A and B are shown apart, each in its own frame.
Chain A
Amino acid sequence: AQSVAQPEDQVNVAEGNPLTVKCTYSVSGNPYLFWYVQYPNRGLQFLLKYITGDNLVKGSYGFEAEFNKSQTSFHLKKPSALVSDSALYFCAVRVATGNQFYFGTGTSLTVIP
């Protein structure tokens, strides 16, 4: 079975500090990995994806993520957090041979001014 784990329900970080939101996955096959952000009463917005190639991928709004195959992780990072980054973040995985996207339970990020 495919699954995604986001071990932290809540992450707090001071504005200007680096942030990390953690994600680990379990799939049978090659994973395609995605990060989404959700603002209150809105749908999910795509941030970035890892398909193949460089383990460090860059996405929207200055976010990046690092794929680590040995640790089955895909942590989201940003060098300098903004208050406007405060939102709910979801990691998702899709098996290369499948069509379903599996989502984690989300991590609420709060950037403190």
Chain B
Amino acid sequence: DTGVSQNPRHKITKRGQNVTFRCDPISEHNRLYWYRQTLGQGPEFLTYFQNEAQLEKSRLLSDRFSAERPKGSFSTLEIQRTEQGDSAMYLCASSSINRVNSPLHFGNGTRLTVT
């Protein structure tokens, strides 16, 4: 169990640019989640995959956000035409469908700053 890995740890970008984050879940975990966390708030759900299928997506998620998990392993989260309001910590988490009531295992996040 090497844990959930997220890259990059930090990203500074100018408004209007596109950014992409990567998440490598724990290898045997087939569920993968993306969350966003702003200062003073708890993690906010963005989207959820089971294997390669994106099963849920937050209604709050702008069309500028897209996530993929093409082979059911790693996942990418892309934000197009970034805005200052996108500045946040983006957290990835994984869990196992094979273990009943498995908790989420989080990565250390990618901190995005949009200038």
Q: Which residues of A contact B (CB under 8 A)?
A: 4, 32, 34, 36, 41-46, 49, 51, 90, 92, 99-106
Q: Given A34-B103, A49-B101, A51-B101, check contact A41 B108 (CB 8 Å).
A: yes
Tell whether, in the assembled complex, residue A43 and residue B108 are in contact, meaning their CB atoms are under 8 Å apart. Answer: yes
For residue B41, which residues in chain A have a CB less than 8 angstroms away from its CB?
105-106
Tell whether, in the assembled complex, residue A46 and residue B55 are in contact, meaning their CB atoms are under 8 Å apart. Answer: no
Q: Which residue of A lies closest to B103 (CB)?
A: A46
Tell whether, in the assembled complex, residue B42 and residue A43 are in contact, meaning their CB atoms are under 8 Å apart. Answer: no
> Which 6 interchain pairs have the tightest Cβ spacing?
A43-B106, A103-B42, A46-B103, A44-B106, A51-B101, A43-B108
For residue B111, which residues in chain A have a CB less than 8 angstroms away from its CB?
41
For residue B28, which residues in chain A have a CB less than 8 angstroms away from its CB?
none
| Chain B 86-115 per-residue mask, 1 if CB under 8 angstroms from chain A, else 0 | 000001010000001101111111010000
Q: Which residue of A lies closest to B3 (CB)?
A: A43
B25 to chain A, nearest CB (A): 12
